[in-house]
Amino acid sequence: MESRIDVARAVPPGAFKAMMGVQQYVDTCGVERSLLDLVLVRVSQINGCAYCINLHTKDARAHGEKEARLYELDAWRESPFYTVRERAALAWAEAVTLITVGHVPDEVFSEAHREFNDTELMNLTIAVTLINSWNRISIAFRRLPEDRELKLAA
């Protein structure tokens, strides 16, 4: 597979600046880094964004995330490796990402709202919507993961 365009070079400066402003807000809004890392990877898994999965799993490891928790992330409901708060965030992130599939169920909102106050839940939602935007840009233009060690010969 080949990239359709060079996203890093083609994105209009104003749009990139605006998205990076939101990214900077998300990075400093108070959502725990470990929780944010899990959400970014999980949403990228749901959307099938190879570039973002590669990027955010590397970031999560650099921030101290355990390998086992990353390996189990797509089966988080069946895994014992996640806290109640993380489970609530992952359920929320999935529901917001898959919004056309039953919207966001009341039980998912209630579970998330037990673990997050209004501002925290809004910040988590902004993070989820932003990674969905980045995923869609990367997927639409077939942005490829960057890992020289794993590139296969054509």
List the beta strands (DSSP E) in the chain: none
Exposed, middle or buried by CB within 10 Å (0-12, 13-18, 19+), for 57? buried
Check: CB of residue 128 under 8 Å from CB of residue 22: no
Q: Determine the pLDDT at residue 151.
A: 54
Q: Tens digit of pLDDT for each residue in 2-51?
A: 888 887 788 788 998 999 999 999 999 999 999 999 999 999 999 999 99
Write down the domain spans for the chain. Answer: 13-144
Residues 6+ apart with CB under 8 A from 43: 93, 94, 97, 128, 131, 132, 135
Q: Tens digit of pLDDT for each residue in 73-111?
A: 999 999 999 999 999 999 999 999 999 998 999 999 999
Please tell us whether the domain made up of 13-144 is placed in CATH 3.30.300.30. Answer: no
Q: Determine the pLDDT at residue 133.
A: 96
Q: Determine the pLDDT at residue 11.
A: 79
Put simply, whether the predicted model's pTM sits higher than 0.75 gets the answer yes
